[in-house]
Amino acid sequence: MDVLNTLRIALRALQRNKMRSLLTMLGIIIGVGAVITVVGLGQGASEESQKQLAAMGSNMLFVGSGTVNRGGLHMGMGNTKSLIYADVPAIVRECPAVKQAAPGVGTTAQIVFANQNWGTRVTGSTPEYFEIREWPTTSGTIFTQQDVDAAADVAVIGETVRKNVFGPTNPLGQTLRIKGLPFKVVGVLAPKGTSAAMGDDQDDVILVPYTTHQKKLTGDTWLRYIMVSAKSKELSYVAQRQITELLRDRHRIRPEQDDDFFVRNLADIAELRDQQARVMTLLLASIASVALLVGGIGIMNIMLVSVTERTREIGIRMAIGATETDVQKQFLSEAVILSLLGGFVGIVSGIIASQVIVSVFEWPVLISPVAVVVAVLFSMAVGVFFGFYPARKAAQLDPIEALRYE
């Protein structure tokens, strides 16, 4: 019996019991659809996380002020005052794996423009900060090194500040007040969205020269942090080690003493996010795969019932020349067709469900072609695995006994 004949007979047998065939496929449909949707959600979340991390900057490291021990009391991170501006050029000069570095100081303030006011973060840095963060302006320009040297009263604002303070008014050239001091707006930053590391709004910020920030806004002489860009992602770990060794030496930290700073590598955050996404996707996909297992058991159950119902038919086929292999192929084909049809419908259902999630909940979903192919192969494997036993049982029937069966 050739393949086409086998498939034609299998399809005819399934068509005789359309409702039973549809109900048998339901488990496969639900299982495949759930797997496609869950994997799409996991991959979409992972890609969105990577986009957010990429928006923070390229090959970036964050050097922050650390903890301090005062009379046996360990203060929290950010309480040391040992990071100073001189550390910034030293890092660029003495760490070969470092490309750029920029100082960072920060405070929160209520800003005022005309009859509008808004509470936001005010960050002080240098022009290198914008390059490290890969943060261009949509209008205007960033402040210059001359502005830093002169402690000029100029500001570059984020998109959230622009919308809430200036509204339809063009902010360029306008004067806003930060802690009562007038600042001229010279640029508006491109939107970056939510930070993947901290979960805050990156666009709710005003950037000013760090010298202006220290001398006119806070009076601080130390840095809150230093933003560093490594020459490549691979060299970021080398840069992390070099920065640690350099700052320990510059801050005269003895071998038995703890660091008064910390160095955080953005690549570590990216890897952690990837691992979390993979584990969650695997967990949810495993749960969804239970439906596939149930669907496979349903196929085996229905095929065993079919063998019992068609015992006399099997006996007639074997009596007129059909071999055990022919009978086995016929029933195995029925099982595979059921699982494949269920798999294809499940894929369509999964894609539709993913689009509904995107439109209703606005969650990122990424349908991977690999996941679709794996779902098809897996559904076929389910049909073969759970269809083999009923097919084998049908093939081993005694023709004489089968013909006598009522």
- Rounded Cα distance between 212 and 152, Å, is 6
Residue 312 near residue 405, CB atoms below 8 Å: yes
Kindly report, residue by residue over 2-45, the tens digit of the pLDDT: 667 667 766 776 777 778 778 778 878 888 888 888 888 877 77
Instruction: Using DSSP, state whether 347 is helix, strand or coil.
Output: helix
Spatial neighbors of 327 by CB under 8 A, at least 6 apart, are: 314, 317, 318, 391, 394, 395, 397
Q: What is the mean pLDDT of residues 387-404?
A: 70
Instruction: Using DSSP, state whether 206 is helix, strand or coil.
Output: strand
Alpha-helix residue ranges (DSSP H) falling in 57-121: 87-94
The one-letter amino acid at 354? S
CA angle (279, 284, 288) in 5-degree steps: 145
Cα 130 → chain centroid: 25
Confidence class of residue 72 from pLDDT cuts 50, 70 and 90?
very low
Residue 144 near residue 127, CB atoms below 8 Å: yes
Confidence class of residue 161 from pLDDT cuts 50, 70 and 90?
very high
Cα 346 → chain centroid: 24
- Rounded Cα distance between 339 and 299, Å, is 8
Which has more confidence, 114 or 21?
114
Lowest mean pLDDT among 89-93, 237-241, 246-250, 383-387: 383-387
What pTM does this model have? 0.64
Q: Which of 85, 79, 105, 94 is nearest to 249 (CA)?
A: 94
Q: What is the pLDDT of residue 295?
A: 77
Could you please report the per-residue DSSP string of 285-342? Answer: HHHHHHHHHHHHHHHHHHHHHHHHHTHHHHHHHHHTT--HHHHHHHHHHHHHHHHHHH
Kindly report, residue by residue over 164-211, the tens digit of the pLDDT: 999 899 999 999 999 989 999 999 999 987 765 555 788 999 999 999
CA angle (273, 274, 277) in 5-degree steps: 85
Ordered by start, the domain boundaries in the chain are 3-52+272-404, 81-259
Residue 285 near residue 38, CB atoms below 8 Å: yes
Dihedral, 9, 13, 14, 20 alpha carbons, nearest 10 = -170
The one-letter amino acid at 187? G
Report the 10 Å Cβ neighbour count for 320. Answer: 8
Report the 10 Å Cβ neighbour count for 249. Answer: 11
Q: What is the mean pLDDT of residues 312-323?
A: 75
Residue 201 near residue 61, CB atoms below 8 Å: no
| Six-digit token string for 67 | 């903890």
Please state the φ and ψ torsions of residue 254, each to the nearest 5 degrees.
-75, 160
Half-sphere exposure of 359 (CA within 13 A, CB side): 6
Spatial neighbors of 104 by CB under 8 A, at least 6 apart, are: 123, 124, 125, 129, 210, 223, 224, 225, 226, 227
Q: What is the mean pLDDT of residues 375-392?
A: 77
